Chains A and B, each alone.
Chain A
């Protein structure tokens, strides 16, 4: 194994370790520097394919690395200064978790998948509690206990896959699976693993933690959870499922399609009733996991499904990023996460209201935004692979979801303000808001820019 296989991770690990010994502000800037350096390194490596034992760095992993590093950078820039000043370890925790994600999307072996998944999750358990109040402690406890339970289930599934294929390396597992006869142990193993990853990406019915953790955790951490952490779980799920593509007796596509239909429907229906914006976005995230799983379910049948799925993941990450970052800006000024308290925000602070509205209409899937094209691609792909019933469910859900997204927009733009509250936005948060909303518009108007890159991504087996 060459050193350049893990060069971005080495840079990040060095930055995170050194930042533990520095003052808060210096730690923040070192973290930003380390993440930027890693982004440059990953971008330069685009197109290279390095394979070494536990890890494989191909275009798939480089692209997902950019998503994780970009989200970590935006979250770090957008974090409230009082959180950073109070918690010196916060930048280091974000970076350690990001290292776990970049390794996770590059893992080529069950052992490295398990280790990097834990490296991703353990800092997140701690970060959920950094709000230092009762709600935040509760979020941290729920996330940690359920997360550890999910990883125990995942590990038990991995053990069965190892036992019945005799291998831990994914390419060899793929070979063994393609030769295997009908095998209940292998099926049980795969479904236990899907359960474990389903927890990570907050797919129904493994989603129970998401609303509570999203609400209780500091909004910065929520943003990171809903963008980077979800993308990481999806990346490793796609990679593992591609190893199980061969056998006809193992129809995981149908199982994922059912999970997807459940997630979309229940996520959207419950989101309607939410009064807390972070909770509403949590349920909307559960529904969007459902939409993404449509793409994952058609992976085996449709050649374009991989790039459609990744396009959706990027579009969702950008839209959720714009929405949650605006929530940071608004909530830290008005001191409340209740949608009712957002009344008339646009009257005094039209720019922030514009950004959050852009994020929400992109989540709803209105034309000229990234979310519209993402839905269009994934729905047409699913039609081609014969999942037309799922597309009908998804379209009905899109209509339902528009209701609660537009309710928030209506409250902000047309309701009478409760009190005069100008939202002040720090320079760095403003920069992060600008980047994410520009991303939504660019992807919505010129999708070929990103689709060309996605066309160069393929999975090895």
Chain B
């Protein structure tokens, strides 16, 4: 059973990573990253259920990840707002003043 959850988690993580790297809308990129974090949460709770002798530390870890994800997204959305104010777009391919 653990294998199924881990495969699902890996698929979610890959979808998230693909979305984060290929999407152009700043908010959609953030949503994709949220998906990656939730894949990590899913793997954590399934490890806690099936593999680990002390499940509490894993489940507590999930709560911390949720809090961190919320904090990150709050700040990142504020930054996307700032980008919209200065560039009039949230398409990240148009935010390219600096290139090598």
Chain B contacts with A in 32-80, Cβ cutoff 8 A? 33, 36-37, 39-40, 43-44, 47, 51-54, 57-58, 60-61, 64-65, 68, 71-73, 75-76, 78-80
Residues of chain B with a CB closer than 8 A to A126's CB: 75, 78-79
Pair B57/A156 contact, Cβ less than 8 Å:
no
How long is the Cα–Cα vector from A159 to B57 in the complex, in angstroms? Answer: 11
Determine how close the nearest CB of chain A comes to the CB of B45; give it in whole angstroms: 10
Question: For B39, what are the chain A residues with a Cβ–Cβ distance below 8 Å?
Answer: 156
Known: A126-B75, A151-B72, A156-B40. A137 touches B87 (CB 8 A): yes
A211/B68 contact (C-beta < 8 A), A111-B60, A156-B13, A166-B54 known: no
Chain A residues near B96 (CB-CB < 8 A): 138
Q: Given the complex of chains A and B, what is the CA–CA distance between A114 and B71 in angstroms?
A: 13
> Does the CB pair B68–A114 fall under 8 Å?
yes
B22 at interface by CB-CB < 8 Å? no
Q: Are B51 and A159 in contact (CB under 8 A)?
A: no
Asked if A149 is at the interface of the complex by the 8 Å CB criterion, the answer is yes
Please state if A144 and B79 are interface contacts (CB–CB under 8 Å): yes
Contact, CB under 8 Å: A149 / B33:
yes
The docked-state distance in angstroms from the alpha carbon of A155 to that of B64 is: 11
- Give the interface SS of chain B, mostly helix, strand, loop or mixed: helix
Q: A133-B86, A155-B40, A166-B52 are in contact. Are A138 and B68 (CB under 8 A)?
A: no
Q: Which residues of B contact A384 (CB under 8 A)?
A: none
Q: Which residues of B contact A320 (CB under 8 A)?
A: none
Chain A interface, number of residues (Cβ within 8 angstroms): 42
Considering only CB atoms, which chain A residue lies closest to B58 in the complex?
A: A162
Contacts of A279 in B (CB 8 A): 100
- Evaluate whether A144 and B54 lie within 8 angstroms (CB atoms) in the complex, with A110-B61, A162-B47 already known: no
Give Cα distance in the complex from A133 to B60, angstroms. Answer: 41
Contact flag A134-B87 (CB < 8 Å), given A110-B61, A126-B75, A148-B30: yes
- Residues from chain B with Cβ under 8 Å of A167 in the complex: 57
Q: Are A166 and B53 in contact (CB under 8 A)?
A: yes
B83 at the interface (CB under 8 A from A): yes
| List of B residues within 8 angstroms of A145 by Cβ | 20, 26, 29-30, 33, 76, 92
Indicate if the CB atoms of A138 and B97 lie closer than 8 Å. Answer: yes
**A459 within 8 Å of B by Cβ?**
no
Query: Within 8 Å CB of B40, what residues of A?
Result: 152, 155-156, 158-159
A135 in the interface, Cβ–Cβ < 8 Å?
A: yes
- Residue positions of B touching A, CB distance < 8 A: 13, 16-17, 20, 26, 29-30, 33, 36-37, 39-40, 43-44, 47, 51-54, 57-58, 60-61, 64-65, 68, 71-73, 75-76, 78-80, 82-83, 85-87, 92, 95-98, 100
- Enumerate chain A interface residues (CB-CB to B < 8 A): 110-111, 114-115, 118, 122, 125-126, 129, 133-135, 137-142, 144-145, 148-149, 151-153, 155-156, 158-160, 162-164, 166-168, 211-212, 215-216, 270, 279
